[in-house]
Structure 1
């Protein structure tokens, strides 16, 4: 396994883990009577982190496919 594949798998794992934590905090925010401002801020930060992670993954996949096409044209 190359370093790029390992990095991609770790990145996917972290994005899935972040999504699970986001769902948990959303559940706590909806069904809890705790300080909702704090949970709302944490939830907003987690959603932003998910969006950034998904965007980075899309850019990585796009660049990887472009590099594969360039390799095919060179060979």
Structure 2
């Protein structure tokens, strides 16, 4: 049972959503799954309030304070 957009899916078993996800993933190419993962990750991070524009993307190497 594949849920359609805007439709509530009712499953008979708790494993059914995972099986649907697995079957959908098998139909996609590795590149499509790769792209989908990062799209979903970005949507989740925006949902929780994580802003990519202000994120500090530098590596800072400094001496540990406990030395």
Shared fold by TM > 0.5? no
Larger RCO (CA under 8 A, 6+ residues apart): 1
TM-score (norm 2): 0.35
Q: Which has the larger helix fraction?
A: 1
Higher CA-based Rg = 2
